Chains A and B, each alone.
Chain A
Amino acid sequence: MTAECSPVSGIEVEPLLQDMSRRLRDFLAERDREAACCIGVHTGGVWLAGRLAAELGLRDPVGELDISFYRDDYESRGLHQDLRPSSLPFTVDGRHLVLVDDVIMTGRTVRAALNLLFDYGRPASVCLVNLLDVATRELPIQPDIVGRRLQLEPGQRVKLSGPEPLHLVMQDAETE
């Protein structure tokens, strides 16, 4: 993958992350879900989930999901390169889960992640956290906490680069 990447000007990740963890803390407290665990979607979501879990002082290790085996575009695009094993180092049953991904676009990744999560058990609840919302939804799925909404030109894609430092980059959709 040799995508043309350029930094997204004017959006700093760190302040967004601080703001998101404040709002996530309130969100969980209002619902008595302080003992939640964070689960990130590879790759950007895992970095963010790690940061959020640390900010909120969550005790459980961060879960990691690779949704490649659950994608709905396997027929047209084949197996995704760069697979990583999923790992959920805790029992999902009855737990409050915070699902974290860098960007939400169509909602299809979240659909796949939910299917994968339910193969591990029956969580008490799942809430969704995204750093960016690029509102081109194709499924009835909405995040509970969003860092920032962003309008993109057709053909543009944005993704998180990291893990240190975290910053957003643009790339051409065709080359991904």
Chain B
Amino acid sequence: MDLSRHGDIQLNEQGELRHFLTTEGLPRAILEEILDVADSFVPVGEKPVKNVPLLRGRTVINLFFEPSTRTRTTFELAAKRLSADVLNFNVSASATHKGETLLDTLRNLKAMASDMFVIRHPDSGAAHFVAEFATPDVAIINAGDGWHAHPTQAMLDMLTIRRHKGGFDGLKVAIVGDIMHSRVARSQIHALRTLGAEEVRVIGPRTLMPRNVEALGVDVFHDMQSGLRDADVVMMLRLQRERMLGADLPSEQEFFRVYGLSTDKLRYASGDAIVMHPGPINRGVEIESAVADGPRSLILNQVSYGIAVRMAVMSMAMSGQRRAPAQEVRQ
């Protein structure tokens, strides 16, 4: 499957968002629109009544083929704040174990008159497959597919940066950790490049660095001192512990010593650098508690911005999908 042509399938004929599958290939104007709309949703969460009626009567199905608590709950909350009806569907514990295929599952869910699927799947390209072939007339939001993309996470990171740094011009951003297995890093890199960050750096051990990552327009570093120098934004990645025992890494302690963000290492970065992490954090593995809970850390702000960004993407995609001409389902 060609995953490089998302730009087309994500937009309707008027150039409006109708699916949100990846940050790659989307025009800068669309990414900025997502941030602008999300900005307007932030104060909605501060009202005594936190709902707006935009998606009233619409049905959103959270379709999670991979366990997730945080992402699923923020999607659920975002849909509920838009007044949609929400159904959570954890597939690992469900029909696929009875031999039902993905396509059959989707057709059944679509028959329940659902308007939007939020999909997380362990295979790269799953959300794209559903949007293109299975149910093109249902708005699809990618909540993470394999190592490929996690675009709403990247956009909530972009919103955090824009709200705390004012913009992307002249910004030096360092992404630290397991770049290889990180769909978050890939989506962040595309978004940062499109939004015009001056420098995007990736820092990590050679074993966790994808080959040819430079082709994405990033500078590669293998040590924190040179990688963090004068950085305005430090984005840590979660290290998946299940990979620790494999050949990629010697030990958690060794990783923390070299790549863990400690107060000392943070001094290499710019004096007003902000620190971000997609969560859940492994304290003492990729980040020291003093930094995670410190004044530079925006980790909890990211969580609240995550709801606003997901509300923005959902309302934009639903509107773009409704305004797109009906499309035949290709078999």
Contacts and interface: CB of A to CB of B under 8 A. Distances in A.
B322 interface: yes
Given A78-B320, A78-B323, A79-B315, A68 B47 contact: no
A114 B44 CA distance: 15
Nearest to B53: A70
Contacts of A118: 49
A108 to B, nearest CB: 13
Contacts of B47: 119-120
Interface string B152-192: 00000000000000000000000000000000000000000
A74 interface: yes
B230 interface: no
Contact of B48 (A69, A78, A120): A120
Interface in B40-73: 40-44, 47-49, 51-54
Contact of B39 (A70, A85, A87, A120): A85
Contacts of A78: 16, 319-320, 322-323
A107 B52 CA distance: 19
Contact of B52 (A69, A84, A120): A69
Interface in A74-116: 74-75, 78-79, 83-87, 115
B37 interface: yes
Contacts of A120: 47-49
A119 B319 contact: no
**Range of interface residues on A (Cβ < 8 Å):** 10 to 19
B36 interface: yes
Contacts, number: 48
B36 A86 contact: no
B319 A74 contact: yes
Given A78-B322, A79-B319, A68 B53 contact: no
Contacts of B131: none
Contact of A74 (B48, B49, B54): B54
A119 B46 CA distance: 11
A66 interface: yes
Contacts of B43: 85-87
A69 B16 contact: no
Given A70-B52, A85-B40, 7 more contacts: A69-B44, A74-B54, A74-B319, A79-B54, A119-B51, A120-B47, A120-B49
